[in-house]
Amino acid sequence: MSTPEPINSKHILVLTKWYPNRMDPQLGIFIQKHLRAIAQFHRVTVFYSCADPNKETDEMEFESYQQDNLSEYIIYYKPSEGLFSAIKGGLKYYQSWLIFKKKTGIFNDKNSRPDVLHAYILLRTALIAWIESKRYGIPFFISEQWSGFITGKALQKPFYWRAMSKWIISMASGVSAVSSFLKTKLEVFSGRNDIEVFYNIIEPTALTESNSTLETTNILI
Protein backbone atom coordinates (compact mmCIF):
# COMPACT_ATOMS: atom_id res chain seq x y z
CA MET A 1 0.00 0.00 0.00
CA SER A 2 1.47 3.38 -1.01
CA THR A 3 1.58 6.41 1.25
CA PRO A 4 -1.25 8.87 0.44
CA GLU A 5 -0.03 11.82 -1.58
CA PRO A 6 -0.19 15.20 0.23
CA ILE A 7 -2.65 17.80 -0.96
CA ASN A 8 -1.32 19.84 -3.91
CA SER A 9 1.43 17.29 -4.54
CA LYS A 10 3.03 17.05 -7.96
CA HIS A 11 4.02 14.11 -10.12
CA ILE A 12 7.74 14.44 -10.88
CA LEU A 13 9.38 12.34 -13.58
CA VAL A 14 13.12 12.04 -13.00
CA LEU A 15 15.63 11.04 -15.69
CA THR A 16 18.97 10.36 -14.08
CA LYS A 17 22.40 9.48 -15.44
CA TRP A 18 23.51 7.92 -12.13
CA TYR A 19 21.44 5.59 -9.94
CA PRO A 20 22.05 2.49 -7.80
CA ASN A 21 22.00 -0.60 -10.01
CA ARG A 22 22.99 -4.27 -9.99
CA MET A 23 26.55 -3.50 -11.09
CA ASP A 24 27.13 -0.65 -8.65
CA PRO A 25 24.67 -0.25 -5.74
CA GLN A 26 26.46 2.93 -4.61
CA LEU A 27 26.30 4.83 -7.91
CA GLY A 28 24.05 7.84 -7.52
CA ILE A 29 23.03 6.90 -3.98
CA PHE A 30 22.78 10.61 -3.10
CA ILE A 31 20.35 11.12 -5.97
CA GLN A 32 18.20 8.27 -4.67
CA LYS A 33 18.20 9.88 -1.21
CA HIS A 34 17.14 13.18 -2.78
CA LEU A 35 14.22 11.46 -4.45
CA ARG A 36 13.19 9.54 -1.34
CA ALA A 37 13.01 12.85 0.48
CA ILE A 38 10.98 14.45 -2.31
CA ALA A 39 8.66 11.42 -2.38
CA GLN A 40 7.50 12.30 1.13
CA PHE A 41 5.66 15.24 -0.40
CA HIS A 42 5.24 14.38 -4.08
CA ARG A 43 4.80 11.42 -6.39
CA VAL A 44 8.16 10.55 -7.98
CA THR A 45 8.81 8.31 -10.97
CA VAL A 46 12.43 7.47 -11.88
CA PHE A 47 13.78 6.47 -15.28
CA TYR A 48 17.33 5.07 -15.32
CA SER A 49 18.97 3.18 -18.17
CA CYS A 50 22.53 1.88 -18.44
CA ALA A 51 24.76 -0.60 -20.23
CA ASP A 52 25.44 -3.90 -18.47
CA PRO A 53 28.83 -5.35 -19.48
CA ASN A 54 27.64 -8.82 -18.45
CA LYS A 55 24.69 -8.88 -20.86
CA GLU A 56 25.11 -11.34 -23.72
CA THR A 57 21.90 -10.66 -25.65
CA ASP A 58 20.59 -7.52 -27.32
CA GLU A 59 17.24 -7.77 -25.57
CA MET A 60 16.74 -5.03 -23.02
CA GLU A 61 15.85 -5.93 -19.43
CA PHE A 62 13.17 -3.91 -17.65
CA GLU A 63 12.99 -3.79 -13.85
CA SER A 64 10.63 -1.83 -11.62
CA TYR A 65 10.48 -1.12 -7.89
CA GLN A 66 7.81 0.57 -5.82
CA GLN A 67 8.26 2.13 -2.39
CA ASP A 68 5.43 4.35 -1.21
CA ASN A 69 5.28 7.32 -3.61
CA LEU A 70 8.60 6.46 -5.28
CA SER A 71 8.49 4.34 -8.45
CA GLU A 72 11.84 3.27 -9.90
CA TYR A 73 12.28 1.87 -13.41
CA ILE A 74 15.67 0.53 -14.49
CA ILE A 75 16.53 -0.72 -17.98
CA TYR A 76 19.71 -2.61 -18.86
CA TYR A 77 21.09 -2.98 -22.38
CA LYS A 78 24.12 -4.59 -23.97
CA PRO A 79 27.11 -2.25 -24.41
CA SER A 80 27.96 -1.10 -27.93
CA GLU A 81 31.33 -1.75 -29.50
CA GLY A 82 33.23 -0.54 -32.52
CA LEU A 83 33.98 2.76 -34.17
CA PHE A 84 30.55 4.29 -33.62
CA SER A 85 29.95 2.86 -30.15
CA ALA A 86 29.06 6.27 -28.66
CA ILE A 87 26.37 6.87 -31.29
CA LYS A 88 25.04 3.32 -30.94
CA GLY A 89 24.98 3.71 -27.17
CA GLY A 90 22.98 6.91 -27.49
CA LEU A 91 20.47 5.21 -29.76
CA LYS A 92 20.09 2.33 -27.31
CA TYR A 93 19.55 4.81 -24.50
CA TYR A 94 16.79 6.54 -26.45
CA GLN A 95 15.30 3.15 -27.34
CA SER A 96 15.17 2.27 -23.65
CA TRP A 97 13.35 5.55 -23.04
CA LEU A 98 10.73 4.61 -25.63
CA ILE A 99 10.34 1.20 -23.95
CA PHE A 100 9.85 2.94 -20.60
CA LYS A 101 7.17 5.22 -22.06
CA LYS A 102 5.33 2.30 -23.66
CA LYS A 103 5.42 0.02 -20.62
CA THR A 104 4.43 2.67 -18.09
CA GLY A 105 2.05 4.66 -20.29
CA ILE A 106 3.15 7.65 -18.27
CA PHE A 107 2.15 10.23 -20.89
CA ASN A 108 -1.03 8.52 -22.06
CA ASP A 109 -3.55 10.40 -19.94
CA LYS A 110 -3.67 13.50 -17.78
CA ASN A 111 -3.91 11.53 -14.54
CA SER A 112 -0.63 9.69 -15.09
CA ARG A 113 1.19 12.46 -16.95
CA PRO A 114 3.92 14.15 -14.88
CA ASP A 115 3.71 17.79 -13.85
CA VAL A 116 7.49 18.26 -13.90
CA LEU A 117 10.43 16.68 -15.75
CA HIS A 118 13.67 16.64 -13.76
CA ALA A 119 16.98 15.69 -15.38
CA TYR A 120 19.86 14.68 -13.11
CA ILE A 121 23.33 15.00 -14.68
CA LEU A 122 23.91 16.21 -18.24
CA LEU A 123 23.55 15.53 -21.15
CA ARG A 124 21.28 12.74 -22.46
CA THR A 125 18.79 13.06 -19.64
CA ALA A 126 18.31 16.78 -20.21
CA LEU A 127 17.92 16.43 -23.98
CA ILE A 128 15.14 13.87 -23.58
CA ALA A 129 13.51 16.00 -20.87
CA TRP A 130 13.56 19.00 -23.23
CA ILE A 131 12.04 16.98 -26.08
CA GLU A 132 9.19 15.74 -23.89
CA SER A 133 8.68 19.18 -22.33
CA LYS A 134 8.09 20.60 -25.79
CA ARG A 135 5.85 17.70 -26.80
CA TYR A 136 3.59 17.82 -23.75
CA GLY A 137 4.02 21.38 -22.47
CA ILE A 138 5.67 20.29 -19.21
CA PRO A 139 8.43 22.36 -17.54
CA PHE A 140 11.81 20.68 -17.11
CA PHE A 141 14.59 21.23 -14.59
CA ILE A 142 18.23 20.18 -14.41
CA SER A 143 20.25 19.14 -11.35
CA GLU A 144 24.00 18.70 -11.63
CA GLN A 145 26.37 16.77 -9.37
CA TRP A 146 29.33 16.10 -11.66
CA SER A 147 32.64 17.35 -10.23
CA GLY A 148 33.98 17.69 -13.78
CA PHE A 149 32.76 21.28 -13.81
CA ILE A 150 35.10 21.90 -10.87
CA THR A 151 38.13 19.90 -11.99
CA GLY A 152 38.03 21.21 -15.56
CA LYS A 153 37.05 17.91 -17.19
CA ALA A 154 33.91 19.54 -18.56
CA LEU A 155 36.06 21.92 -20.59
CA GLN A 156 37.93 18.93 -22.04
CA LYS A 157 34.72 17.49 -23.46
CA PRO A 158 34.18 17.74 -27.25
CA PHE A 159 32.94 21.08 -28.55
CA TYR A 160 29.50 19.71 -29.45
CA TRP A 161 29.00 18.45 -25.86
CA ARG A 162 29.95 21.80 -24.36
CA ALA A 163 27.79 23.75 -26.82
CA MET A 164 24.75 21.53 -26.33
CA SER A 165 25.19 21.54 -22.55
CA LYS A 166 25.28 25.34 -22.41
CA TRP A 167 22.23 25.53 -24.67
CA ILE A 168 20.17 22.97 -22.74
CA ILE A 169 21.01 24.67 -19.44
CA SER A 170 19.71 27.95 -20.89
CA MET A 171 16.46 26.24 -21.91
CA ALA A 172 15.66 24.72 -18.50
CA SER A 173 12.96 26.20 -16.27
CA GLY A 174 15.40 25.93 -13.38
CA VAL A 175 18.87 24.57 -12.57
CA SER A 176 20.37 23.37 -9.30
CA ALA A 177 23.79 22.24 -8.12
CA VAL A 178 24.78 20.09 -5.18
CA SER A 179 27.17 22.63 -3.63
CA SER A 180 27.89 26.36 -3.65
CA PHE A 181 31.28 25.75 -5.28
CA LEU A 182 29.72 23.67 -8.06
CA LYS A 183 27.02 26.32 -8.50
CA THR A 184 29.68 28.98 -9.10
CA LYS A 185 31.58 26.83 -11.62
CA LEU A 186 28.37 25.86 -13.40
CA GLU A 187 27.34 29.50 -13.69
CA VAL A 188 30.71 30.36 -15.22
CA PHE A 189 30.39 27.46 -17.65
CA SER A 190 26.81 28.18 -18.70
CA GLY A 191 26.51 31.93 -18.30
CA ARG A 192 23.37 31.42 -16.23
CA ASN A 193 23.30 33.27 -12.90
CA ASP A 194 20.16 31.94 -11.22
CA ILE A 195 21.35 28.43 -10.30
CA GLU A 196 20.19 27.21 -6.88
CA VAL A 197 21.90 24.89 -4.41
CA PHE A 198 20.33 21.66 -3.14
CA TYR A 199 22.77 19.91 -0.83
CA ASN A 200 23.15 16.16 -0.52
CA ILE A 201 21.16 14.53 2.25
CA ILE A 202 22.82 13.15 5.36
CA GLU A 203 20.58 10.76 7.21
CA PRO A 204 20.81 11.05 11.01
CA THR A 205 21.67 8.03 13.10
CA ALA A 206 20.28 7.28 16.52
CA LEU A 207 22.70 7.99 19.36
CA THR A 208 22.57 5.69 22.37
CA GLU A 209 24.21 6.17 25.73
CA SER A 210 26.44 3.50 27.11
CA ASN A 211 27.27 3.06 30.77
CA SER A 212 30.03 0.61 30.07
CA THR A 213 33.62 1.52 30.87
CA LEU A 214 36.79 0.31 29.28
CA GLU A 215 38.91 -1.67 31.72
CA THR A 216 41.82 -1.95 29.34
CA THR A 217 43.49 0.35 26.86
CA ASN A 218 43.69 -0.88 23.28
CA ILE A 219 46.61 0.52 21.33
CA LEU A 220 45.75 0.77 17.66
CA ILE A 221 49.00 2.27 16.39
Give the per-residue pLDDT at 113: 92
54 vs 132: CA distance, rounded Å: 31
- The percentage of the chain sitting over the pLDDT mark of 70, rounded to a whole number, equals 92
Give the per-residue pLDDT at 85: 81
For the residues 43-57, what does the mean pLDDT come to? Answer: 94
Give the per-residue pLDDT at 206: 63
Instruction: Judge whether residue 55 has pLDDT over 80.
Output: yes
Instruction: Report the 10 Å Cβ neighbour count for 117.
Output: 26
Instruction: Judge whether residue 65 has pLDDT over 60.
Output: yes
Instruction: Judge whether residue 124 has pLDDT over 70.
Output: yes
Looking at per-residue confidence, does 183 or 8 come out higher?
183
11 vs 42: CA distance, rounded Å: 6
Give the per-residue pLDDT at 9: 87
Kindly report, residue by residue over 82-122, the tens digit of the pLDDT: 778 888 888 999 999 999 999 999 999 877 899 999 999 99
Give the per-residue pLDDT at 109: 81
Mean pLDDT of the chain: 90
**3-class DSSP string for the chain:** CCCCCCCCCCEEEEEECCCCCCCCCCCCHHHHHHHHHHCCCCEEEEEEEEECCCCCCCCCEEEEEEECCEEEEEEEECCCCCCCHHHHHHHHHHHHHHHHHHHHCCCCCCCCCCCEEEEECCCHHHHHHHHHHHHHCCCEEEEECCCHHHHCHHHHCCHHHHHHHHHHHHHCCEEEECCHHHHHHHHHHHCCCCCEECCCCCCCCCCCCCCCCCCCCCCCC
Give the per-residue pLDDT at 6: 56
Give the per-residue pLDDT at 202: 79
For the residues 189-203, what does the mean pLDDT come to? Answer: 90
Give the per-residue pLDDT at 213: 58
Kindly report, residue by residue over 136-174, the tens digit of the pLDDT: 999 999 999 999 999 999 999 999 999 999 999 999 999
Give the per-residue pLDDT at 211: 56
